[in-house]
Structure 1
């Protein structure tokens, strides 16, 4: 009797936890808006790309940080020291 009750409580608890996880977890991460096109300067290759709210940052293999607007226009070119 005790074993059956414990098994029943565990099953109900497991179903409750799975139900809460399914209903409470977000549907997935919101992906950033990518510019249609980013033109890197001649001879520059992208090492890293990151996205912020309203901008895209490209770190180049030449040691420069390139900041782009959402329309793909270059806003700032900062050399790394």
Structure 2
């Protein structure tokens, strides 16, 4: 068999380089989509319609954790509530440096 001319060998090499580039691009896109799929947050569970706080309490911040709700008040304490927001289960006093 005759060996193909040099120009044809160059085209064959270029063809394989393009195939490898396309396969790499497809693998990269699949990896990016998989990362987005696994890393993006899922919809949060719904918040309770209301929460029961002691009278005169003003809320400065609110957060939800696994199995609890936390409210930071202007009185310098954190109130931990049950997931339904109906009962205070713990009070944490915030100690400041006089700021």
Which 4+ stretches in 1 moved above 6 angstroms? none
Q: Which has the higher contact order (CA 8 A, sep 6+)?
A: 1
Question: Which deviates more from structure 2 when the two are superposed, residues 44-53 or residues 68-77?
Answer: 44-53
Asked if structure 2 preserves the Cα contact closer than 8 Å seen for 1:65 and 1:79, the reply is yes
Q: How many residues align?
A: 81
| Alignment pair present for 1:16 and 2:30 | no
Normalising by structure 2, report the TM-score.
Answer: 0.61
More helix as a share of residues:
2
Q: Please report how far the alpha carbon of residue 9 of structure 1 lies from its aligned counterpart in structure 2 after TM superposition.
A: 1.3
Equivalent of 1:49, from 42, 46, 62?
Answer: 62
TM-score by length of 1: 0.70
CA offset digits 1:33-63 (Å, max 9, x no partner): 5223113333433222222221111111221
1:29 equivalenced with 2:41 (yes/no): yes
RMSD: 2.5
Report which of the two has the higher share of strand.
1
Q: What's the CA shift for 1:65?
A: 0.4
Q: Which runs of 5+ in 1 are unaligned?
A: none
